[in-house]
C-alpha cells in the first residue's frame, strides 16, 4: 500500500472518533505495555545488537522509562481528560467557562538512534494518551531496535491507528509530507535535521516540537563534594558511551579543585568499567564508523589525561578525559556525543559564563556546589532546558518534570502531564445561561459607555 493511501486511512480512522474516548486510550496503552513485556527479551537483544547495551542498562534507560511513563498516564489520564472549570469575569456574569483538551489528529513521531526504543515510544505513548493516531519514524541507524519496534506495533495496533514507517529519514518523511498534512510533528534528533523538519512543516503550518541536542556543561564549584561530582559526572558521561543528548558534554571546573576532580574522575571510571572498559559488561559501543572516526578526530585536539584507547573493529572508544583544549577547537564548538570529556578550568563565574555563551542555550546544565547562593546565581543566569544540582541525567527520569530544550536545543516540552498537554490542545468554551440577558450587551450602545467601562475593568 502506498504511504499516501495508508495515511488517508489513518485520517479516516481518526475522523471516525474512535481514538478519543477514555476507554479506548486506556485499553491501547495497556496493550502497548503488555506487548513490551511480552517482547522484553527481544528488546534486550536488539539494544545489545545496536548499541551493546546491557539488559540492566536497557531496562534503566529505555524499557523501564517507557513502562513508568505508561503507568503515569494510566494513573492520571481520566483526570487530565476532564474539562477544567476556570473563573469567569464580571463582563460575562452568570456564564461559566471551561477548558476542554482536544486531540490533535494524526501525529508524526521522528526519533533518533541513541535511545531508539525509549525516544520513539515515550512520545508515541503521549500522543496515544492525547487520543491521536501516530506514525512512528524510528532511526535507520539502529536497525535491530527499529525491527522489534515495528513487530510490537504491528502486532498490537491496526495500521490506521499506530504504524511504523522505516527507512532513510529524508526520503520517508519528505515523501509522507508531500501528500499528507500531519497535525503535529514531534522530532527528536540533531539541530540540523530539526531545522530541515521545521522547514518542511512550515508551508503547511504544521505545529512542530523539536527535541534537539547541544553542549551541556557540568560546572564544578570549589565548594562541591568532589568525589560525588566525579562519580555522577562519569556515569552521566560514559553511559551509552556518551551518546546521550543530555550527557555532560564538557566540565567547567574551578581551578582550585581541578586536579582533585581529575583524580576522582579517573578513580570513578576505573571502579565502573575496570582496567579494560573494552571488555566491560557495562560499557557500550559507538553507533557506527562515521561517528567513531569523528570522535577519534577529537582526540587530536588537546591533551589526553585518561583513556584514549580504541578498537576500530568493535567501535570501542575508552572513557576519555582531555584538557588543554582551545575554545576555538571543534571539540568545544560541536556536540561531542561520545565518551570524550573536555575539562576547562575557570576562576570566576564570568569566565565560565563566557565559555557557555560560545554554545548558548544548552539542553541541560549540571551544577555541583554546596552553596545555595551559587545555585540560585547559576540557575537564574543561564538559559538551559532542564538540569540537576549535584547530579546528572536524572531530571529526565522524573515524569513530574517537563523535558525539553530552549533556543538551539529545542522547542516544546514533554513527559507525563506535559506530554498530554503537548499532544492535545486547549479548547476554550464559555457557556451562557438563557435566564440572564441584560440589554446592556445589545445595541444601541449609546449612553452605555460608563457602565461598559465599569464591567470591563
Residue 12 grid cell: 479516516
60-74 in b/e form (b: 16+ CB < 10 A) is ebbbebbbebbebbb
Q: Would residue 388 show up in a list of annotated catalytic residues for this protein?
A: no
Of 108 and 264, which CB lies nearer to ligand NAD in the complex structure? 108
Beta bridge partners of 365: 387
Q: Look-up: residue for cell 444601541?
A: 444
The least distance separating ligand NAD from the CB of residue 212, rounded to whole angstroms, comes to 5
Q: What is the rounded CA–CA span in Å between residue 342 and residue 251?
A: 6
- Choice between 60 and 196, CB closer to ligand NAD: 196
Query: Cβ distance 312 to 280 under 8 Å?
Result: no
Residue 196 or 228: the one with the smaller Cβ distance to ligand NAD is 196
Q: How far is the CB of 201 from ligand NAD (least distance, A)?
A: 10
Cβ neighbours, 10 Å, residue 102: 12
If the CB atoms of residues 226 and 341 are measured against ligand NAD, the closer one turns out to be 341
Kindly write down the DSSP assignment for every residue of 35-88, as one continuous string. HHHHTHHHHHHHHHHHH---HHHHIIIIIHHHHHHHHHHHHHHHHHHSPEEE--
Quote the least distance from Cβ 385 to ligand NAD, whole Å. Answer: 8
**Grid cell of 7 as nine digits:** 495515511
- The Cβ-side half-sphere exposure at 348, using a 13 Å CA radius, reads 3
Do residues 322 and 305 touch, judged by C-beta distance below 8 A? yes
40 is annotated as an active-site residue: no
Q: Which residues bind ligand NAD (CB under 6 A)?
A: 110-114, 119, 137, 139-141, 169-170, 173, 188-190, 193, 196-197, 211-213, 245, 335, 337, 363, 405, 410
Nearest to ligand NAD of 210, 257 (CB atom): 210
Q: How do strand 303-306 and strand 320-323 relate by DSSP bridges?
A: antiparallel
3-state secondary structure of 293: helix
Contact residues for 328 (Cβ-Cβ < 8 A; gap 6+): none
Q: How far is the CB of 351 from ligand NAD (least distance, A)?
A: 26
Catalytic residue among 163, 245, 388, 421: 245
Beta bridge partners of 320: 340
Active-site residue identified among 211, 221, 318, 335 = 211
**HSE of 302, CA atoms in CB hemisphere, 13 A:** 25
From the CB of 403, what's the least distance to ligand NAD, in Å?
7
Instruction: Provide the b/e sequence for 273-293 (b: ≥16 CB within 10 Å).
Output: beeebbebebbbbbbeeebbe
Closest to ligand NAD by CB, 57 vs 335, is 335
Q: How far is the CB of 243 from ligand NAD (least distance, A)?
A: 8
Closest distance of CB 191 from ligand NAD, Å: 7
Residue 248 grid coordinates: 555532560
Report how far residue 336's alpha carbon sits from residue 324's, in angstroms, rounded to the nearest whole number.
16
Tell me whether residue 238 or residue 346 sits nearer to ligand NAD (CB atom): 238
Instruction: Give catalytic residues, as residue numbers.
Output: 211, 245
Amino acid at each position: 500500500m502506498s504511504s499516501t493511501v495508508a495515511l488517508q486511512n489513518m485520517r479516516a480512522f481518526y475522523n471516525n472518533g474512535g481514538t478519543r474516548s477514555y476507554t479506548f486510550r486506556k485499553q491501547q496503552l495497556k496493550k502497548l505495555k503488555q506487548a513490551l513485556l511480552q517482547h522484553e527479551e527481544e528488546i534486550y537483544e536488539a539494544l545489545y545488537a545496536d548499541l551493546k547495551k546491557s539488559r540492566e542498562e536497557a531496562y534503566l534507560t529505555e524499557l523501564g522509562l517507557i513502562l513508568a511513563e505508561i503507568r503515569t498516564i494510566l494513573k492520571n489520564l481520566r483526570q487530565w481528560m476532564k474539562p477544567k472549570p476556570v473563573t469567569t469575569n464580571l463582563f460575562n456574569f452568570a456564564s461559566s467557562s471551561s477548558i476542554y483538551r482536544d486531540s490533535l489528529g494524526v501525529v508524526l513521531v521522528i526519533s533518533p538512534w541513541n535511545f531508539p526504543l525509549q525516544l520513539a515510544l515515550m512520545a508515541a505513548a503521549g500522543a496515544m494518551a492525547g487520543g491521536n493516531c501516530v506514525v512512528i519514524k524510528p532511526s535507520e541507524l539502529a536497525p535491530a531496535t527499529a525491527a522489534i519496534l515495528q513487530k510490537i506495533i504491528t502486532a498490537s495496533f491496526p495500521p490506521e491507528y499506530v504504524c511504523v514507517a522505516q527507512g532513510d529519514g529524508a526520503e520517508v518523511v519528505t515523501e509522507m509530507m508531500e501528500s499528507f498534512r500531519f497535525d503535529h510533528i514531534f522530532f527528536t534528533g540533531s539541530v540540523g535535521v530539526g531545522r530541515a523538519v521545521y522547514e518542511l512543516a512550515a508551508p503547511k503550518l504544521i505545529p512542530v516540537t523539536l527535541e534537539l541536542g547541544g553542549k551541556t556543561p557540568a560546572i564544578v564549584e570549589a565548594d562541591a563534594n568532589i568525589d560525588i561530582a566525579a562519580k555522577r559526572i562519569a556515569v552521566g558521561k560514559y553511559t551509552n558511551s556518551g551518546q546521550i543528548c543530555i550527557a555532560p558534554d564538557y566540565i567547567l571546573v574551578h581551578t582550585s579543585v581541578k586536579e582533585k576532580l581529575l583524580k576522582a574522575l579517573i578513580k570513578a571510571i576505573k571502579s565502573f568499567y575496570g582496567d579494560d572498559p573494552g571488555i566491560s559488561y557495562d560499557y557500550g559501543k559507538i553507533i557506527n564508523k562515521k561517528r567513531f572516526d569523528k570522535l577519534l578526530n577529537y582526540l587530536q585536539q588537546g591533551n589526553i589525561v585518561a583513556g584514549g584507547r580504541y578498537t576500530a573493529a568493535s567501535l570501542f572508544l575508552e572513557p576519555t578525559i582531555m584538557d588543554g583544549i582551545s575554545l576555538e577547537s571543534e571539540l568545544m564548538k560541536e556536540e561531542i556525543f561520545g565518551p570524550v570529556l573536555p575539562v576547562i578550568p575557570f576562576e570566576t563565574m564570568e569566565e565560565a559564563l563566557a565559555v557557555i555563551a560560545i554554545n548558548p542555550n544548552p539542553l541541560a546544565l549540571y551544577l555541583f556546589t554546596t552553596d545555595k547562593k551559587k545555585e540560585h546565581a547559576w540557575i537564574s543566569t543561564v538559559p538551559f532546558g532542564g538540569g540537576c544540582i549535584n547530579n546528572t541525567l536524572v531530571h529526565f527520569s522524573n515524569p513530574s518534570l517537563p523535558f525539553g530544550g530552549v533556543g538551539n536545543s529545542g522547542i516544546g516540552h514533554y513527559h507525563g502531564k506535559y506530554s498530554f498537554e503537548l499532544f492535545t490542545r486547549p479548547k476554550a468554551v464559555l457557556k451562557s445561561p438563557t435566564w440572564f440577558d441584560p440589554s446592556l450587551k445589545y445595541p444601541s450602545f449609546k449612553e452605555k459607555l460608563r457602565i461598559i467601562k465599569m464591567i470591563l475593568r
